[in-house]
Structure 1
Amino acid sequence: MRLFHFSEESVIDVFVPRVKANRTDMPPVVWAIDEEHQFTFFFPRDCPRIVYTRSEGLTPEEEQRFFGTTAANIVITVETGWHERIRQTTLYRYELSPESFELFDEYAGYYISKETLVPLAVKPLPDLLGLLVELGIELRFTPNLHPLREAIQQSSLRDYGIHRFQNAQADTRP
Structure 2
Amino acid sequence: MRLFSALRPPADVAAEVAGALGGRDRLLRWSDPAGWHITLAFYGEVDPAEYGAFLDRALDGRKSVDVRLSGSGTFPGVLWLGVAGEDLADLAAAATLGSGEDRPYRPHLTLARCSRTQPPTEWTEQLAGFRSRVWTADRVELMGGGAPYRTLRSWPLRRG
Superposition TM-score tier, normalisation by shorter sequence: under 0.3
TM (normalized to structure 2)?
Answer: 0.27
TM (normalized to structure 1)?
Answer: 0.25
* Greater Rg by CA: 1
The structure that is strand-richer by fraction is 2
